[in-house]
Amino acid sequence: MGTVRHWGTGMMLGAAIVGTARQAAAQQAVAQQQTGQRQAGQVPADSVPSLEARVEELSQQVRILQRLRELAADSIATAAKDRQSATANSKDGFSLKSADGKYSLKIRGYAHADGRFFPGDGAAALPNTFFLRRARPILEASVGRYFDFRIMPDFAQGATTLFDAYWDGKFDPAFTVRAGKFKPPVGFERLQSATDITFAERGLPTNLAPNRDIGLQIAGEISAGLLAYQAGVFNGVADLGNADGDLSDAKDFAAGVFVQPFKLGALKGVGLGISGSTGIERGTATAPGLAGYRTASQQTFFRYRTDLVTPANTVVASGTRTRLSPHAFVGLGSLGLLGEYILSRQEVRQGATTAKLDHKAWQASGSYFLTGEEAGFRSPSPKKPFDLREGTFGAVELAARYGELDLDDDAFPTFANPASAASKAKAFGVGVNWHLNRQIKVVVNYEHTTFDAGAATGDRESEDFVVTRFQHSF
């Protein structure tokens, strides 16, 4: 409406300029006619305006025309300031933005279409299948100078789940406030976007970190990212948990810091951090507050005992839960290295029996871009995006990782059944990632996982897992 209003004003001013010009021309023509008539003796000399009067009249008309021109220019400039823009690009997706940039609406999203295969599954216990792993539209809005909002549901796997729904107050790079549902600052690889992780699935340490929680957090970056921090209060969720509410008064406190000591030179990609959380969790027979742990193929290899006949004997969380996770990332040109360790300590109870269990996990992963892109915590844009006409191929990345998840021996046999719950998992994986452009990625991974215990006859059968993924993000 503002653009239409300014356009109408410009048309009115233009009409006024044209009208004034016509009036001036008509007056000049009349004056010339009267001069000719006077010379011919048809008009008395004293009825012809003096030269000074005509000059003053014309000067006044010139000033009016100049002012009308200034008003028209101001109107056009004001209309340009109020003009909204609609864009579509790799950074913002599809967006609407005000001219001053303070108000915007972005529509983004991504989808992961997988092929999952188990070549070593002689008993055909695990189906080979094509699988929609994620389908997540993203809506982001900026309101004024300081406030943002984001909402991200997921419609994959035959269910609708809300992952992100939060408000941001970005008052200063060193101080922002976030409220709503989002990732707590625990678990290094968990904090990577699913579009940026090196493998199709996160490694074993992610089992001991929360997924999403509801809370209030402050965060910021100091000295242009030299130090980043987060600290917040959350409802508290189990390992791998993604909850929309809380059943107790107790809350979790979570915090993390990450330091990049070398901002320039060959070591500018080196970063070190530590994060953790603590809180009290008290579960019930219907909501135990404890998680099962999964391999990369999302097969559960450990779970606590559940007694459907006598629910009081179901193992539940019963006391303090503490997590601690040191981690690091090293980017050396095309080589990227990620390492993390995480400890999850949980007090549990079965009937009158209690214990404090320490579960530990770690992983080390590395990737290398054969095409020369610079490795980072976020996926880089290919130097030469895929284009058949230009003969360019995109970026090719090789990846490998090894990780372990070790369950506390005191969990067996009281709190977990060693005939069905493994006490340790060790996984080695390799992969090739083809980044056609910033939005399209094709992934092929192979991962081999072995177990200690977990079967009635001893060790659970090892798992061979091959996954292909087509990723499209915008």
Q: Are residues 307 and 422 in the same domain?
A: yes
CATH number at residue 317: 2.40.160.10
pLDDT at 336: 96
Structure token pair of residue 93:
């997706």
> Has residue 93 got a pLDDT over 90?
no
303-327 pLDDT, tens digit each? 999 988 888 899 999 999 999 999 9
Name the least confident of 73-77, 113-117, 182-186, 426-430.
73-77
Alpha-carbon dihedral sign for residues 67, 69, 71, 73? negative
pLDDT at 355 > cutoff 70: yes
- Please provide the DSSP assignment of 170-183 as one string: EEETTEEEEEEEE-
pLDDT tens readout for residues 177-190: 999 999 999 999 99
pLDDT of res. 49: 57
Q: Can you give the pLDDT at residue 74?
A: 75
Residue 2 has pLDDT above 70, yes or no: no
**Per-residue pLDDT tens over the stretch 220-237:** 999 888 999 999 999 999
**pLDDT greater at residue 442 or residue 81:** 442
- The DSSP string of 253-311 is EEEEEEE----SSTTTEEEEEEEEEEEEEE--SSS-----EE-TT--EEE-----SSSG
Q: For residue 250, give its domain range.
A: 85-473
Nearest to 354 by CA among 250, 282, 278, 454: 282
Residue 254 CA to residue 8 CA, distance in Å, equals 57
Is 51 in the same domain as 97? no
| 205 vs 324: CA distance, rounded Å | 11
- Rounded CA separation 50/445 (Å): 96
328-348: pLDDT as tens digits: 999 999 999 999 999 999 999
Mean pLDDT of the chain: 88
Q: Specify the pLDDT at position 4.
A: 40
Share of the chain above pLDDT 70, in %: 87
| Same-domain pairing of 317 and 372 | yes
Residue 6 has pLDDT above 90, yes or no: no
pLDDT score for 71: 80
Question: 76 and 175: one domain?
Answer: no
Q: How confident is the model at residue 176 (pLDDT cuts 50, 70, 90)?
A: very high
Which residue did the predictor score with more confidence, 10 or 378?
Answer: 378
Domain count, the chain: 2
Same structural domain for residues 286 and 423? yes
Looking at per-residue pLDDT, the higher value among 267 and 143 belongs to 143
- Same domain for 89 and 57: no
Return the amino acid letter for 117.
Answer: F
Sign of the CA dihedral with 408 first, then 412, 416, and 419 last: positive
Q: How many CB atoms lie within 10 A of CB 246?
A: 16
Can you give the length of the chain in residues? 474
Q: Are residues 176 and 233 in the same domain?
A: yes
Task: For 204-231, give the DSSP string.
Answer: GGGGGS--BEEEEEEEEEETTTTEEEEE
Mean pLDDT, rounded, for 400-428: 97
Q: Model pTM? A: 0.81
- Residue 44's pLDDT is 52
User: Of 66, 81, 96, which one is at a domain's C-terminal end?
Assistant: 81
Both tokens of 303, joined, read 């779970």
Q: 8 pLDDT band (50/70/90 cuts)?
A: very low
- Decide: residue 382, CB within 10 A, 0-12 exposed, 13-18 middle, 19+ buried: buried
Same domain for 216 and 75: no
Q: Tens digit of pLDDT for each residue in 187-217?
A: 999 999 999 999 999 999 999 999 999 999 9
**373 vs 369: CA distance, rounded Å:** 6
For residue 75, pLDDT beyond 80:
no
Segment 131-155 mean pLDDT: 95
Q: Return the residue matching tokens 């404090």.
A: 356
Q: Are residues 366 and 466 in the same domain?
A: yes
| Alpha carbons 197 and 194: distance in angstroms, whole number | 6
| Confidence check: pLDDT of 425 > 60 | yes
Which of 26, 60, 81 corresponds to the end of one domain? 81
How far is the C-alpha of 359 from the C-alpha of 345, rounded, in Å? 6
Task: Identify the domain boundary among 14, 47, 81.
Answer: 81
**Which pLDDT value is given to residue 237?**
95
Please state the rounded mean pLDDT for residues 10-16. Answer: 46
Instruction: Report the percent of the chain where pLDDT is more than 90.
Output: 70
Q: How many angstroms separate the CA atoms of 306 and 311, rounded?
A: 7
Q: What is the model's pLDDT at position 292?
A: 95
φ and ψ at 325, to 5 degrees?
-145, 100
114 and 201 in one domain?
A: yes
pLDDT of 400 over the 60 cut: yes
The pLDDT of residue 247: 78
Could you tell me the CA-to-CA distances from 190 to 24, 207, 237, 239, 340 in Å, in that order?
75, 10, 15, 12, 11
Is the pLDDT reported for residue 33 higher than 90?
no
Q: Mean per-residue pLDDT for 32-53?
A: 55
Q: How confident is the model at residue 259 (pLDDT cuts 50, 70, 90)?
A: very high
Shared domain for 57 and 185, answered yes or no, is: no
In terms of domains, do 391 and 452 share one?
Answer: yes
pLDDT attached to residue 16: 46
pLDDT tens profile 264-307: 777 888 999 999 999 999 999 999 999 999 999 999 999 999 98
Q: How many CA atoms does the CB half-sphere of 314 hold within 13 Å?
A: 19
